[in-house]
Amino acid sequence: MKIEAEAVSVVIDGRQIVQQASLVCEGGTMTALVGPSGCGKTTLLHCLGLLQQPSSGRVLVDGVDTTGWKAGQRRRFWKDSGAFVLQDYGVMEEESVAFNVVMKASVFGSKVVGDQAALAEALELTGLTGRDNELAAHLSGGEKQRLSIARAIYKNAKAVFVDEPTASLDEGNRTRVIDLFRNLATRGCTVIVATHDDEMMAACDTRHSLTRPAELVTN
């Protein structure tokens, strides 16, 4: 899936947060959004994932301009194609590990339904085998991060939007998480990562550098 930004700018309360960002992210590749703290990496990532509307410019998904998309179209994009690995992990703490991956339960909520083989594969790849029935709240930060990656693997996401995935991980887990994203890209997924991490950047095919916009927007 091709995700494109064309001259995307974000202005909040008269402050320029992202200035005229243009980039193309292709399926099967990893793109790093890089730059100093506060330069707008997360904000641009949110625009690319259709979580936030740019103040000007446009975001295209497979060549289609998303500017006028209604909530229902964005929801369909998130449900069918997109996955997010954000800094708060996006994990449902009061649900089981398995439910967090599959996001489907039987009518009375007692049994996680869905493709059990795909669930097992996603848990194995992320090192969470055997943890199916544990409450997500009981996982460590790094495990929650891997859980949100398991969800992306399970749903065979076409595009994954990732914010600082390695910030709080030790060396071993950092390498493991980077390998997981590379694996997603190998499967054809478009991986977009906001990062400060040199190892993560090195694993990416392209880097898009942002600079901190200096000026205040008037009018």
Ligand X SMILES: Nc1ncnc2c1ncn2[C@@H]1O[C@H](COP(=O)(O)OP(=O)(O)OP(=O)(O)O)[C@@H](O)[C@H]1O
Residues binding ligand X (CB under 6 A) = 12, 17, 37-43, 194
Answer for the pair 217, 15: CB distance below 8 angstroms, yes or no: yes
| Residue position matching structure tokens 């292709």 | 26
- What letter represents residue 160's amino acid? V
Q: Which two tokens stand for residue 18?
A: 């992202």
The dihedrals phi and psi of 103, each to the nearest 5 degrees, come to: 65, 30
Find the shortest distance in angstroms from Cβ 37 to ligand X: 3
Of 96, 140, 142, give the one whose Cα is nearest residue 119: 96
* Cβ-based nearer residue to ligand X, 37 or 106: 37
* Cβ-based nearer residue to ligand X, 17 or 152: 17
Q: Which two tokens stand for residue 155?
A: 């749903």
* Cβ-based nearer residue to ligand X, 34 or 159: 34
Helix, strand or coil, per DSSP, at residue 42: helix
* Cβ-based nearer residue to ligand X, 39 or 125: 39
Find the shortest distance in angstroms from Cβ 169 to ligand X: 16
* Cβ-based nearer residue to ligand X, 47 or 119: 47
> 106-125 as b/e, with b when 16 or more CB fall inside 10 Å?
eeeeeebebeeeebeebbeb
Of 105, 89, 66, give the one whose Cα is nearest residue 162: 89
- Name the strand (E) or helix (H) holding 18: strand 15-25
Find the shortest distance in angstroms from Cβ 102 to ligand X: 30
* Cβ-based nearer residue to ligand X, 129 or 209: 209
Cross-strand pairs, 105:
112
